[in-house]
Amino acid sequence: MSDGDDTVLVTTEGRTGRITLNRPGALNSLTRPMVLRISAALTAWEHDPQVTQVLVVGAGERGLCAGGDIRAIHADARAGGTASVDFWRDEYRLNARIARYPKPYVALMDGIVMGGGVGISAHGSVRIVTERSRVAMPETGIGFVPDVGGTHLLARAPGELGTHLALTGAAVGAADALLCGLADHFVPARLLPELAADLADAPVADVLPRYAVPAPEGELAGQREWIDRCYAADTVLAIVDRLAGHGDPQAKQTAETILAKSPTALKVTLAAVRRARALGSLERVLEQEFRVSCVALRSPDLVEGIRAQVVDKDRTPRWSPAELAGVSDAEVERYFAPLGADRELRLDAE
């Protein structure tokens, strides 16, 4: 399967279809052509009796995928374009498809796995993390809101752990990814090449027990008391107040972390995660996320957040509004309003 585009390498190794994200210089960040290429490979293998499972890996040593190409999104947002909307439509369709794929979908979540990288891995049926894994939905730091089904995953995490990860954008290691339901198995990174090679000849259900071991201890389990108590509040401001007033120094530090994020993105993110709990299926949540993303594309905070974190790298975004109190309930509701029949994302739930 070759068309001259080497940003995704599609190969067949024995019984396994292998997808390699191949932009290591950009931490394998996703573009629309990459999403379409992955989708085409999944279509071909779904009906190929010789391929019994799929393996997804990232090229290079730094990670599976750092997310969508946010420099491209920044340029599109500044120009008032629609390329990002087209990208998200195809990307979210792919996320839903991965979750429903009829053959084992094995994702090696080694190294950095963030944003869109979570979308192409954490909806799979076999999700493997290593001691190098750093898994995150860091969108609030760039004036955006967790997408790619991230609010669905985080809404289903134990207690208020998902709310914590959504608002802070914190990256977690292997044990915490397992605790939050973002991954299934821990395999030491040095064993991944051998595991991948064995998948050519045997089903993942037979191979994995030879490699999976308990993960090193994480951090979140010991923080559940203050996380569950503080994040149970009804508003972002109330959450921050509880964190700041809690006796644990980590809670107070977390309050400061949250206050550095986009106030608008924080309020919309909290609403999105809470609504995702009620929506149920991944498809309905992705449809909601599509609405939110389309509105965020036209918001000043997305352009400013990417500028500060990625383009100019001065790390001093000027949010508008600058404080939580300046973001009205009506403004939050605007992100969830229908887009119009011809613009909505419609996904069939199986």
- pLDDT of the residue at 1: 43
Enzyme catalytic residues: 68, 116, 139, 147
Residues contacting 110, CB < 8 A, separation 6+: 57, 58, 63, 64, 128, 129, 130, 132, 133, 189, 192
**Taking a C-beta distance cutoff of 8 angstroms, is the pair 141, 119 a contact?**
no
Tokens 């972390």 -> residue: 257
Terminal CA-to-CA distance of the chain, rounded, Å? 29
Neighbouring CB atoms inside 10 A of 179's CB total 19
**Taking a C-beta distance cutoff of 8 angstroms, is the pair 66, 119 a contact?**
no
Tokens 């995928």 -> residue: 65
**pLDDT confidence tier of residue 348, bands split at 50, 70 and 90:** confident
**Taking a C-beta distance cutoff of 8 angstroms, is the pair 116, 148 a contact?**
yes
* Mean pLDDT value across residues 323-340: 97
Span 214-254, pLDDT tens digits: 999 999 999 999 999 999 999 999 999 999 999 999 999 99
Q: Cα(219)–Cα(161) distance, rounded to whole angstroms? A: 11
Q: What are 19's strand-pairing partners?
A: 10, 56
Question: Is the model's pLDDT at 345 over the cut of 70?
Answer: yes
Q: Cα(55)–Cα(17) distance, rounded to whole angstroms? A: 6
Q: Cα(287)–Cα(214) distance, rounded to whole angstroms? A: 36
Question: Is the model's pLDDT at 350 over the cut of 70?
Answer: no
- pLDDT of the residue at 349: 64
- pLDDT of the residue at 5: 77
Q: Is the pTM of this model over 0.75?
A: yes
Span 67-119, pLDDT tens digits: 999 999 999 999 999 999 999 999 999 999 999 999 999 999 999 999 999 99
Question: Is the model's pLDDT at 293 over the cut of 70?
Answer: yes
- pLDDT of the residue at 4: 53
**pLDDT confidence tier of residue 2, bands split at 50, 70 and 90:** very low
* Mean pLDDT value across residues 194-216: 98
Question: Is the model's pLDDT at 330 over the cut of 60?
Answer: yes
Residues contacting 121, CB < 8 A, separation 6+: 56, 64, 65, 107, 109, 113, 127
- Name the average pLDDT for the chain: 96
Span 22-55, pLDDT tens digits: 999 999 999 999 999 999 999 999 999 999 999 9
